[in-house]
Structure 1
Amino acid sequence: MTSRIHEIEVPDENPFLNDVLNRKEVVDFLAKLVGRTTGPFVLAIDSEWGTGKTTLIAMLQAVLRKENFQCVHFNAWKADYVADPLVPMVSAINQIQLPAGEAAKTFSDRLQTIKKGTGVLAKRGLIAGIKVATLGVLDVESDVEAIAAELTGATANDLVERFEQENEILTKFRSDLESAVEQLAAAGKQKNLIFFIDELDRCRPDFAITLLERVKHLFDVPHIVFVLSIDKRQLEASTAAVYGSGINAPEYLRRFIDLELGLPTIGGKPFTDLILKRTGLDEVFAERTSNAELQYDREHFVRYFTQLADLCQLTLRARERCATRLMIVMHQTPPNHYLDPIVVAVLLVLRTIKPSLFRQIVEGVAGTKEIMEYLYTLPAAEKIATDRAGAVIEAELLAADHDSRRDDRAKELADIAQDEKRGAADRQYARNVLELISYPGRSSRSAMRMRSIAGKVDMAALTRGRG
């Protein structure tokens, strides 16, 4: 087993080789969109963190590269330790290698002048950043000018002249950038430079907002298409953190983004299968063949974890974290011992989506009743109620619960099954659970396992449970 789940591999020659989420149609649509758009243009792919945006971006890049587009990838989160995003953004463009020739030479020459302008603009941005960070404590006429002198080697006596000089630098920067991008077509590439910015919503707020400002003021030139990978809600929070809660964050962000496209949340069994494969858990499950019941542990876990994760709308990243916790559980469960895969699946999901209820289970004050009540409050709960899955989940939880809870619930279910005033679906559900909890394989296991299993899911929980 591996202790960390790495990003899904996206081979250049076959971008959709590991596409278990069936996103080829979405990627192909995006490739046509950004390929046919005449920049400047900013497209934002908006979806919650952990929903697979990074993998989709990797697939999109691979498709565009096959179509002879020059792509630049910039992971903003990995660069947000620097003061100004302009520097790593220009560095990303500097990595472009064109075929040897006149176009490549011109491209290189333009980049040299762009880098010179970057140095000056980044220093000026640093001065402004210091002013903002100190909330006006600095004195404009003394402290800021001293900093300007130290950074630029000049004295800012004439602010109007300095503004005009900076405007000239900005104009020169954009002109050289436009000329550099024009060399792509001259070098046999497609006209558009596709500039991908990933993980923007995870950056520190001031870095994220400064980056958007740089895109707007410096990179707004023909044939540059930006593709931003964002969680807009997080980006709106960053905007409020920088400019205060009174700002209209959605309206502010519209200044920078020409088109937003949502990414549908996708889960399902194929993704669960992929997680088990990538973590090496498939091999561990394969060892669980000491008796007829254990050999179905993987099948049961995949089915019920997928249903519960879909029901609770877990992000793909959250599902991966559940798999990491499953690794810990399986480290503690010998291959000839009961794993209780359905109970494990329930507790993994609860630990992620409802930690307060999980803690109550660990402490022994909550059990099957509270779990099922919570699950049936979720919007799509009827999906597990109508295909017998809900009855199976409740029966497995009861088998692992306290004897008194199980007995009380069995009496309640017996009454429901005989109550003609109840709906037919309720009576059938009660009969299903009663039938399942009477199964010899369940009744022969020791009760009160739920807290022990919770301890395997979270070692800290195990310590709390013993207190």
Structure 2
Amino acid sequence: MRLFPAPPEIDEQTGFDQGDLFGRKEFGDRLTRLVLALEHPAVLLLDAPWGAGKTIFVKMWEGELRKQSVPVIHFDAFASDYMADPFTALAGEVLDLAKRHESDDAKVDSFRAKSLGVLKVIAKHGGRALVKAATYGVIDPGSSDDWKNIEKDMAAAAAEISDKVLLDRLDHHAEEKATFAAFREALKELAISLGPVELAEGERRPPLVFVIDELDRCRPTFALSLLETVKHFFDVDGVVFLLVTNLAQLEKSVEFAYGAGIDARGYLDKFFHLRALLPTRSKKYISGHSGTYARHIAISTGIRNNYLIEAITNIANEMKIDFRTTERLVANIILFETSTNGIMNAFTDVIVGLSLMRIKHPHLYDRARARNLNLE
């Protein structure tokens, strides 16, 4: 028995051909044309509410890009938000792609070395995340003196800050800026090598597309640190970022970090150049796809009662419920069906309606159970 549908297996190369349930290929094609037409680095933001199918869309869209030989990285930010420093994770993702792509060894080694230089600077300023760096391949704890030097830097950062330390930081400020510039140059060179080897006459080299998903689910401090890292270190020619998030929720992260009085949208505006809305919010879109998704979920989770499937589909269309609520609705009905050893066909509409009430309006559901609900 499954309460929720299994995560869809989306092939990295197939794109929208494997089942564009919500008809988003046209929107994906427009997004592709925009990304490939850009002649400068850019950070785009794809905005949609929770449960709107953002992850499924971007994974299919990434497949379309790969079919056109566009290098793509998919980074699940939520899976890495246990780290204190997102730089290690982002640089590690670039290295992983370069290794799979069998890129120019010299450029890979240069990027790795320049990443190490940035990590050393971060260590001097209290970068706790270096403890995890080895797991991403940026640092090899068993080779040379790199790891020992970083441990020394971390110990120094944790020690009491003296005048000598502060003066040392002032003296080395120019060196740190040069280290960051060298990293950005190495990233730019590596990004070029990740694209197609040969281009047709007049064809523009595609950028490295870096998709950052689940940003709105991260700890507020990690989400904002990740945005700062992208802006300061990865904003280079040949790299385009797509931030996939619920912007309203991300604004709450800003308010959590800086207080309710801050202009959260104004703060976030400096981190992206263009905001695109995933086509989900119009009433026409929701009414046209809620029932489609509800039927798909009901069947994929094993419901075989056609009367029940029809009731779920009709209520989803009528109430225009979002996709995540649909999944919870089906899970509640499966539990009821299992506990009662079957459902009478005559009461399917009532059962589905009460299940939705339990999710969306639990106080009304409790009154209904207590036989204290006035329908007026």
TM-score bin, normalised by smaller chain = 0.7 to 0.9
Mapped contact 1:209–1:239 kept (Cα < 8 A): yes
Corresponding residue number in structure 2 for 1:108: 108
CA displacement, residues 387-429 of structure 1 (integer Å, 9 cap, x when unaligned):
xxxxxxxxxxxxxxxxxxxxxxxxxxxxxxxxxxxxxxxxxxx
Give distance in 1, aligned partners of 2:361 and 2:98.
49
CA displacement, residues 226-276 of structure 1 (integer Å, 9 cap, x when unaligned):
011011111111011111222111111110110001123243322111101
Corresponding residue number in structure 1 for 2:207: 192
Mapped contact 1:38–1:192 kept (Cα < 8 A): no
| Cα drift, residue 30 of structure 1 | 1.1
Corresponding residue number in structure 1 for 2:268: 253
Mapped contact 2:329–2:359 kept (Cα < 8 A): yes
CA displacement, residues 126-169 of structure 1 (integer Å, 9 cap, x when unaligned):
4599xxxxxxxxxxxxxx99751669xx9444231132232222
Identity of aligned residues (%): 29
Cα 1:2–1:99 change in 2 (3 A) is closer
SS at match of 2:209: strand
Cα 1:106–1:204 change in 2 (3 A) is same
Corresponding residue number in structure 1 for 2:138: none
SS at match of 2:315: helix
Give distance in 1, aligned partners of 2:125 and 2:363.
45
The one-letter amino acid paired with 1:191 is P
Find the partner of 2:318 among 302, 307, 312: 307
Mapped contact 1:301–1:345 kept (Cα < 8 A): yes
Cα 1:121–1:72 change in 2 (3 A) is farther
Cα 1:77–1:185 change in 2 (3 A) is closer
Cα 1:31–1:337 change in 2 (3 A) is same
CA displacement, residues 421-454 of structure 1 (integer Å, 9 cap, x when unaligned):
xxxxxxxxxxxxxxxxxxxxxxxxxxxxxxxxxx
Cα 1:45–1:14 change in 2 (3 A) is closer
Mapped contact 2:307–2:345 kept (Cα < 8 A): no
Give distance in 2, aligned partners of 1:256 and 1:8.
31
| Cα drift, residue 303 of structure 1 | 1.7
1:4 and 2:1 aligned: no
Which structure: larger Rg? 1
CA displacement, residues 268-310 of structure 1 (integer Å, 9 cap, x when unaligned):
322111101221223xx2xxxxxxxxx63332332233322x1
1:19 and 2:20 aligned: yes
Mapped contact 1:305–1:346 kept (Cα < 8 A): no
Cα 1:275–1:125 change in 2 (3 A) is farther
* Of 180-189 and 70-79, the range deviating more from structure 2: 180-189
1:81 and 2:82 aligned: yes
Give distance in 2, aligned partners of 1:270 and 1:89.
37
Give distance in 2, aligned partners of 1:35 and 1:198.
20
Corresponding residue number in structure 2 for 1:273: 295
Corresponding residue number in structure 1 for 2:362: 355
CA displacement, residues 3-58 of structure 1 (integer Å, 9 cap, x when unaligned):
33233333333533222211111111111111221231011010111111001101
Corresponding residue number in structure 1 for 2:308: 297
CA displacement, residues 339-398 of structure 1 (integer Å, 9 cap, x when unaligned):
72111221222222222222222232215x15xxxxxxxxxxxxxxxxxxxxxxxxxxxx
1:340 and 2:347 aligned: yes
SS at match of 1:365: coil
Give distance in 1, aligned partners of 2:117 and 2:371.
64
Corresponding residue number in structure 1 for 2:141: none
SS at match of 1:95: helix
Cα 1:48–1:121 change in 2 (3 A) is farther
The one-letter amino acid paired with 1:53 is K
SS at match of 1:257: coil
Corresponding residue number in structure 1 for 2:66: 65
| Cα drift, residue 98 of structure 1 | 6.4
Mapped contact 1:333–1:339 kept (Cα < 8 A): no
Stretches of structure 1 lacking an aligned partner (at least 5 in a row)? 130-143, 286-294, 371-467
Q: How is 1:451-462 mapped onto 2 (pairs within 5 angstroms)?
A: none
The one-letter amino acid paired with 2:371 is G
CA displacement, residues 184-232 of structure 1 (integer Å, 9 cap, x when unaligned):
3473484300000000011000100011101111111001000110111
Equivalent pairs counted in the alignment come to 338
| Cα drift, residue 335 of structure 1 | 3.2
* Of 180-189 and 113-122, the range deviating more from structure 2: 180-189
Task: Quote the RMSD (CA, aligned, Å).
Answer: 2.8
Give distance in 2, aligned partners of 1:146 and 1:333.
62
Mapped contact 2:4–2:327 kept (Cα < 8 A): no
Give distance in 1, aligned partners of 2:77 and 2:100.
28
Q: How is 1:66-215 mapped onto 2 (pairs within 5 angstroms)?
A: 66-97=67-98, 104-124=104-124, 126=126, 147-148=156-157, 155-185=165-195, 187-188=197-198, 190-215=205-230
Q: TM-score, structure 2 length as denominator?
A: 0.82
Give distance in 2, aligned partners of 1:230 and 1:156.
39
| Cα drift, residue 104 of structure 1 | 1.9
The one-letter amino acid paired with 2:244 is S
Q: TM-score, structure 1 length as denominator?
A: 0.67
Give distance in 2, aligned partners of 1:14 and 1:218.
30
Cα 1:185–1:64 change in 2 (3 A) is closer
The one-letter amino acid paired with 1:161 is D
Cα 1:150–1:264 change in 2 (3 A) is same
Mapped contact 1:305–1:342 kept (Cα < 8 A): no
Stretches of structure 2 lacking an aligned partner (at least 5 in a row)? 130-152, 200-204, 281-285
Give distance in 1, aligned partners of 2:172 and 2:369.
65
The one-letter amino acid paired with 1:58 is K
Give distance in 1, aligned partners of 2:359 and 2:87.
37
Give distance in 2, aligned partners of 1:252 and 1:305.
37
Corresponding residue number in structure 2 for 1:428: none
Cα 1:108–1:304 change in 2 (3 A) is same
